[in-house]
């Protein structure tokens, strides 16, 4: 009996050593791959070679373009810093707006201004909310232009109003809420450091820190794989799609609440946009 137990222990030890020996090269390959990905990111992270700046230029034109029944531009749109003031506005969004009695992110606020200031039928803007192979998105271009005016500034979450505090609580609840056919939540992928999908590292949004600051500070971004400038609205929409949840309505309060939570986790993070990603 003792010989059998000894033999079993030796076999178990041998199996364990074999597994460790196999894991070593795998970890080394993973580390090498990560280094190569960082080299690739450094190569493409050049503002002079970033097509996202074409969106910034188009957004600048759209900001002043006369449209809608009133045939006016958006220069009097108040993004929180006063009518027409866009420098630093993105760094304090989402926030509460008294005229709408709502907490809004940038895209919600722009839709509001289009309707109230320009009296623009926004159906086409919403239809093209995410650019495709044959068309650009006014909203993505406007967000790129306005967000770029906060470059070098740090995220300053606005949480003094009770409705802003309610949105933060709702956003945290949504981040942790499991649902859908896969029983996933945002926390499933982004609830701790060191997680990844294949070679793609997943930022940790369960607590304030470097991951959240660097991630939020880099959106909107130009996605090389999609040949489009993408906003956080698109990123969250795509996350829900990949989790097999019902996709959220564009400009929904739920997405804004989740953004409030993520900005809180990213407090103090520097904004550098549009960035460029794979």
- Buried residues in 102-121 as b, exposed as e (16+ CB within 10 A): bbbbbbbbbbbbbeebbebe
Residue that the structure tokens 């740090």 belong to: 154
Strand partners of residue 200: 197
Smallest CA-to-CA distance from 144 within 47, 10, 249 is with: 47
Question: Cα 162 to chain center, whole Å?
Answer: 24
Which residue, 93, 50, 27, 16, is CA-closest to 276?
A: 50
Q: How many beta carbons lie within 10 A of that of residue 59, not counting itself?
A: 24
Distances (CA, A) of 196 to 27, 189, 200, 204: 13, 8, 5, 10
239 classed as catalytic: yes
Which residues are catalytically annotated?
Answer: 239
């Amino acid at each position: 009996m003792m010989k059998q137990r000894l033999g079993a222990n030796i076999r178990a030890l041998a199996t364990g050593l074999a597994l460790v020996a196999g894991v070593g090269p795998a970890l080394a390959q993973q580390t090498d791959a990560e280094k190569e990905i960082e080299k690739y990111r450094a190569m493409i992270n050049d503002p002079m070679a970033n097509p996202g700046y074409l969106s910034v230029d188009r957004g600048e034109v759209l900001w002043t373009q006369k449209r809608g029944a009133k045939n006016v531009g958006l220069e009097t749109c108040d993004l929180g810093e006063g009518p027409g003031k866009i420098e630093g506005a993105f760094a304090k969004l989402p926030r509460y707006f008294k005229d709408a009695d709502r907490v809004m992110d940038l895209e919600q606020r722009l839709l509001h201004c289009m309707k109230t200031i320009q009296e623009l039928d926004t159906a086409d803007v919403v239809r093209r909310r995410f650019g495709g192979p044959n068309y650009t998105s006014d909203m993505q271009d406007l967000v790129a232009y306005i967000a770029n005016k906060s470059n070098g500034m740090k995220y300053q979450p606005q949480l003094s109003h009770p409705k802003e505090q309610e949105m933060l609580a709702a956003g945290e609840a949504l981040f942790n809420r499991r649902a859908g056919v896969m029983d996933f939540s945002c926390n499933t992928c982004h609830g701790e450091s060191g997680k990844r999908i294949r070679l793609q590292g997943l930022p940790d949004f369960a607590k304030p820190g470097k991951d959240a600051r660097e991630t939020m500070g880099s959106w909107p971004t130009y996605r090389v794989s999609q040949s489009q400038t993408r906003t956080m609205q698109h990123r969250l929409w795509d996350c829900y799609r990949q989790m097999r949840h019902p996709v959220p309505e564009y400009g929904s309060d739920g997405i804004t609440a989740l953004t409030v939570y993520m900005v809180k986790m990213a407090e103090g993070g520097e904004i550098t946009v549009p960035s460029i990603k794979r």
